[in-house]
Amino acid sequence: MSGRLQGKVALVTGGARGIGLSIAKALAAADARVAVVDILADTAQAAAAELSGTGNQGFSCNVADPEAVQGALSSIEENVGPVDILINNAGITRDNLLMRMKNEDFDEVIAVNLKGAFNFTRAAARGMMKRRDGVIINIASVVGLIGNPGQTNYAASKAGLIGMTKSVARELASRGVRCNAVAPGFISTPMTDALSEDQKIALKGRIPLGTLGTPDDVASAVMFLVGPDARYITGQVLSVDGGMAM
Ligand code: NAI
């Protein structure tokens, strides 16, 4: 992978930990300069310092705030460079059954997961279109494809991201910009580590490949889509879910 993205600048939202951090590490390992953007300011800076190579930097920003996004993008373009690769990964859950879901639980999840991706896409696309070069990846979810009880808000945000991916892909294709989505299934994180053995067995029973994925499995799919091997691929959803959605 080393050297494959030399000279490129990548921006990863929600890059301070979890899947976003794995993606940031993979991009840096391929020699991209990486801007780690997260609402957790200190963790974003610590994460950027952990990446290989030089020129990586952490930035504090709430993706749901359009003005903060514009400010962060200007600062990134000034300090790291014009953004060639945008990974919209920041996401939250506020799970509850439909009848118990509060308005603010719905609105907050849409604001971060869907509007946040819109905010960064609109901000970064301007430069990409001018340079006639750019790649955007939206981190969706299997839940956006097949739904999940207790996640009406989250599933709607992720299905929305898939629609947005296809519209942006169609709109920007003639300007040299590609846009794809990656839809992870159940990925092993501290959250899933905390499940009981019985819960893990039940979960694995829903996955044809019989095991949870890792953040690196998601990062591998992202690395394929951002690189030259995917130059003829846009508007697609690549599932990384052990076969859950097929
Ligand atoms: P995580 O909670 O470990 O990491 C999310 C990151 O986003 C955190 O660093 C958090 O501080 C940041 N963030 C949250 N709200 C933000 C905001 N308003 N502005 C800027 N940054 C913000 O989550 P994880 O598991 O790494 O998930 C990453 C993405 O992958 C999310 O979009 C999630 O929906 C998606 N995903 C995760 C799956 C899983 O099993 N973990 C499965 C399918 C999709």
pLDDT per position as a tens digit, 19-70: 999 999 999 999 999 999 999 999 999 999 999 999 999 999 999 999 999 9
Q: How many residues does the chain have?
A: 246
What residue owns the CA closest to ligand 1's atom 40?
187
Q: What angle do CA 181, 11, 4 make, to 5 degrees?
A: 80
* pLDDT confidence tier of residue 193, bands split at 50, 70 and 90: confident
Task: State which ligand 1 atom lies nearest to the alpha carbon of 64.
Answer: 18
Q: Could you tell me the CA-to-CA distances from 114 to 27, 156, 214 in Å, in that order?
A: 23, 9, 23
Tokens of 112: 């971060």
* pLDDT confidence tier of residue 1, bands split at 50, 70 and 90: low
187 lines ligand 1 (CB under 6 A): yes
161 lines ligand 1 (CB under 6 A): no
Is 154 annotated in the active site? yes
Ligand 1 mutation pick, 40, 42, 92, max ligand atoms within 8 A of CB: 92
Tell me if 58 sits within 8 A of 47, measured CB to CB: yes
184 lines ligand 1 (CB under 6 A): yes
Of the listed 106, 118, 154, 186, which one is catalytic?
A: 154
Task: State which ligand 1 atom lies nearest to the alpha carbon of 17.
Answer: 9
pLDDT (mean) for 156-167: 99
What residue owns the CA closest to ligand 1's atom 31?
91
165 lines ligand 1 (CB under 6 A): no
236 lines ligand 1 (CB under 6 A): no
Q: Is the pLDDT of residue 219 over 90?
A: yes
Instruction: Determine the pLDDT at residue 195.
Output: 81
The CA 92 to ligand 1 mean position distance, Å, reads 6
Q: Could you tell me the CA-to-CA distances from 202 to 145, 195, 205, 239 in Å, in that order?
A: 20, 11, 5, 21
The CA 14 to ligand 1 mean position distance, Å, reads 6
Per-residue pLDDT tens over the stretch 180-189:
999 999 999 8
Ramachandran assignment for 31, one of left (phi > 0), alpha (psi -120 to 50 degrees), beta (any other): left
Q: What is the mean pLDDT of the chain?
A: 96
